[in-house]
Amino acid sequence: MELAAGLDRVLARIDAACAAAGRDPGDVRLLPVTKYFPASDIAALYRLGRRDFGENRPQEAGAKAAELSDLGVRWHLVGQLQRNKARQVARWAYAVHSVDSERLATALATATAAALDSGERDTPLEVLIQVSLDADPTRGGVEPGAVPALADHIAESTELRLAGIMAIPPRTADPDAEFARLAEVCTRLRTGHPGATELSAGMSNDLERAIAHGSTCVRVGTALLGARPITSA
C-alpha cells in the first residue's frame, strides 16, 4: 500500500508537470531507481504496472536480475560503470545510461556481442551518453562538445543502440539553467541522430524542472520508495 501510494504521488507530479509544460504525460517515463531496496519492492512495483527499473551498482543489480528473472523486467544501469564490468552488465541490462567514453562504448559493444552469441540476450544494448554539466571527473560524463563524436562512435556499432543522453545537474547550480543547457545538447544530438530521442534528466527533487525542459525519463528513488534502507558507505 505504501508503494502504491508513493507511485500515485509521483505519477501525479509528472502529470501536473506535463500539464504545466503543455506536454503529453505519455511522453515522460518514470524510471524507479531501486538501489539498496530489496527485490521484493521491485516485484511489488512490477505488480503495480512498472516494467523498467534503474540500478546504480552492477553487482547488486545483477543479483536482483537473477532473482527476478521470471518477470521480464527491463533493467537500466544509471550509475557509473567500469569497463571490466561490461561483460557482466551485458548479460542483464536493457540499457546503460552512463556511457562517457569511446573505450567504455567499445567494451559494451564487445560484451553485448558475446551475450548475443551465447543467447544471454537477444537485442542490442540501449545506451545513453552521460553529459557532464560541471566538468567533475568523479561524477562521470563527457563535456557537451564531445557528445557528437561519441555519438558517432556508438552509432557505428550494431550491438549498441544510441538512445539519447543523460545528466545530473551540479548540486549547487540552478537546475533550470542546467536543464536548459542539456536540452540544447539533446537538440543538437537529434539533428545528427534522429533516433536518439531519450533525455534522461530529473530526479525526486527536480523532476518538474526537468520535464519543463524536455526530459523524457525521470529517475526517481526517494520520492517513490522513501529513505534508503542502508547507506551507500
CATH number at residue 203: 3.20.20.10
> What percentage of the chain reaches a pLDDT higher than 70?
98
Q: Is residue 232 part of a domain?
A: no
Range from 47-61, 110-124, 125-139 carrying the lowest mean pLDDT: 125-139
User: Is the separation of the CB atoms in 72 and 93 below 8 Å?
Assistant: no
Q: Quick one: pLDDT at residue 106?
A: 98
230 in a structural domain:
no
pLDDT of 230 reads 58
Q: Among 163, 197, 193, 194, which residue's Cα sits nearest to residue 183? A: 197
Q: What is the DSSP string of 6-31?
A: HHHHHHHHHHHHHHHHT--GGG-EEE
**In this predicted structure, what is the pLDDT of residue 139?**
82
Can you give the residue range of the structural domain that contains 212?
A: 2-225
* Of 118, 61, 63, 142, residue with least CA distance to 94: 61
155 belongs to a structural domain: yes
Reduced to 3 states (helix: H, G, I; strand: E, B; else coil), residue 160 is strand
Q: Tell the residue number behind the cell numbers 525526486, with chain if given.
A: 204
Q: Is residue 35 included in any domain, yes or no?
A: yes
Confirm whether 120 is domain-assigned. Answer: yes
Mean pLDDT of the chain: 95
The tally of domains found in the chain comes to 1
Please tell me the pTM assigned to this model.
0.94
36 has a pLDDT exceeding 50: yes
Helix (H/G/I), strand (E/B), else coil: 37: coil
Predicted local distance difference test score (pLDDT) of residue 232: 46
Which ranges constitute the DSSP H helices of the chain? Answer: 2-21, 39-47, 58-67, 86-90, 102-118, 147-155, 175-192, 207-212, 222-225
Q: Which residues are registered as beta bridge partners of 32?
A: 220
Residue 233: the pLDDT is 41
Residue 27 counted as domain residue:
yes
**Angle 207-105-180 (CA atoms, 0-180°, nearest 5)?**
30
Q: Burial level of 63, CB count in 10 A (0-12/13-18/19+)?
A: middle
Cell of 80: 557509473
Question: What's 132's DSSP letter?
Answer: P
Using the structure block, give the residue that is written with the C-alpha cell 511489488: 44
The reply to whether 104 falls in a domain is yes
- Residue 116's pLDDT is 98
pLDDT tens for 79-130 read: 999 999 999 999 999 999 999 999 999 999 999 999 999 999 999 999 999 9
The answer to the question of residue 107 being in a domain is yes
